[in-house]
Copies of this chain bind each other. A is one copy, B any other.
């Protein structure tokens, strides 16, 4: 069983180092079909009695009213075998918490109190693609934003995703039009790893215009969903899905978000998870950046302008610090610097006497006489017949 390196796009035949028994996988496949994510009461039952026993109880209807509320409508849907066959037909697999491939640590963040408001750890994940999911998300960043993106936003999303992927980070997004699509494409263009988290079955090409993109991600990256094959996208499923994007990315970059963009939902979840929330600033004249600027102004997000800044924000162990610009001068300057004042008082075209320089600069004559040779040594002043002349700074 091979484990491909995290950020390589090299396909492997069977990435899932499965530990789960068939019974467990079948039970979770059944429960994944029966309960609409996120079913908190059912999850608690699974945690208590295990997935196989929980599936039996759900089937028989011998469950608490709250679990019944989450399972009674579809408990007769016995499609576990068929769903596993469906996912196999598209080259995919069902990854369950009992598997080695399960991204345990990233998803654990969903279990904190604030995060549970948007749903806890999934019952199972339907996955396509030639990478080991747990490794793929070890160094990952979510790059999200508006569907109604501007040219600027798509450009920046693509560039940043390309840079992140080149730096060995996995780019997680939602495969929507606009920013999401640009992010996936940027990562693919860098031959890097990208994960599309869907609000529908992983066999469903949604949005339709991204059929080709999704096919490519299935071949070179990963497609992940907690919805079984064939499930269609719905409004509430996007919100439920967003928590997985936030959880699988080590931090979230919002490239563009209008005032009511869904990306603001992913941003709020990222905060609830305690993960770094980053936004890309944009023109204040652009409606597509309003949501980003709101997050900045509220102090909820940090501004990122480059790949290095993103890597620094999500980096661990301090080994990913963005390099400081080489010249970091004192910004308060030295307005009283006598040498500067003497320099400014020198003649531009003709020489000026030291006395005239003293009056012009307000620097005492004795100091002027001491400073002029220093300026000459520094290549900033020239002694000519009539006095001292200025040489331009390089």
Residues of A in contact with B (beta carbons under 8 Å apart): 34-38, 68-70, 72-74, 77, 117-119, 152, 155-156, 234-237, 239-240, 243, 259-260, 264-265, 267-269, 272, 280-285, 289-290, 292-293, 296-297, 302-306, 309, 325, 327, 329, 331-337, 340-341, 344-345, 358-359, 361-365, 367-368
Contacts and interface: CB of A to CB of B under 8 A. Distances in A.
A34 to B, nearest CB: 8
Nearest to A281: B281
Pick the 7 closest A-B CB pairs, nearest first: A281-B281, A36-B362, A234-B344, A268-B331, A239-B335, A284-B305, A73-B358
A118 B335 contact: yes
A118 to B, nearest CB: 5
A365 B327 CA distance: 68
Nearest to A231: B360
Given A236-B340, A283-B282, A335-B236, A367 B69 contact: yes
Q: Which of A70, A72, A234, A281 has the most CB of B within 10 A?
A: A281
A361 B72 CA distance: 11
A152 B283 CA distance: 8
Contacts of A73: 358-359, 361-365, 368
Nearest to A286: B283
Nearest to A365: B73
A370 to B, nearest CB: 12
The number of times this chain is found in the oligomer is 2
B331 A303 contact: no
A337 B367 contact: no
7 contacts: A36-B341, A73-B362, A74-B362, A156-B285, A280-B284, A281-B284, A284-B305
A333 B265 contact: yes
B303 A297 contact: yes
Contacts of A283: 152, 281-283
Nearest to A343: B235
Contacts of A155: 285
B359 A267 contact: no
A117 B259 CA distance: 42
A296 B303 contact: yes
A348 B280 CA distance: 38
A363 B69 CA distance: 7
Q: Which of A296, A362, A363 has the most CB of B within 10 A?
A: A362
B267 A293 contact: no
A269 B365 contact: no
A135 to B, nearest CB: 28
A332 B272 contact: yes
Contacts of A235: 340, 344
B303 A303 contact: yes
Nearest to A70: B362
Contacts of A285: 152, 155-156
A317 to B, nearest CB: 21
B260 A327 contact: yes
Given A73-B358, A341-B236, A335 B303 contact: no
A86 B178 CA distance: 63
B293 A305 contact: yes
A36 B361 contact: yes
A391 to B, nearest CB: 14
A324 to B, nearest CB: 10
Q: Which of A239, A289, A336, A363 has the most CB of B within 10 A?
A: A336
B341 A234 contact: yes
Contact of A305 (B77, B290, B358): B290
